[in-house]
Amino acid sequence: MIKVAMTGVYVDDVAQAHAFYTDVLGFETRTRLDLGDGRLFVTVGAHGAQPDVQLLLEPGQGPIAEPYRGALYRAGIPCIVFSVDDLRAEYARLSGLGVRFTHRPRQRGPVLAAVFDDTVGNLVQLVQPKQ
């Protein structure tokens, strides 16, 4: 069986992304290595869950990442989707922390969905499956 072990998100600043994804979104740090020259290798994951799944916060500069990220953002396309148990509660919590949503919670087919700006160059979608 093949399973997802790690996926990456290109970010403007790895240290800033690490703070946002842990302090605001509530992820836990799985790996944080100082590679020298101001470079960090950071992975995060769902707090207390899915120990075999990690999100790599990757430097988003360069000839491949920058055009890709810019095109997604300008088109309003999230770079990643996270699931939540109660989207309306998470929307209220994150809004209270100053997170800027580009789309408030609304029904999208089989899910309730919302989109926010992660402060490091990306749009992120939250979804709650219909019960």
- What are 59-69's pLDDT values in tens digits? 999 999 999 99
Q: Which residues contact 84 (CB under 8 A, 6 or more apart)?
A: 90, 126, 127, 128
How far apart, in whole angstroms, are the C-alpha atoms of residue 83 and residue 123?
Answer: 15
| 78-102: average pLDDT | 97
pLDDT at res. 38? 87
> How long is the chain?
131
pLDDT at res. 91? 98
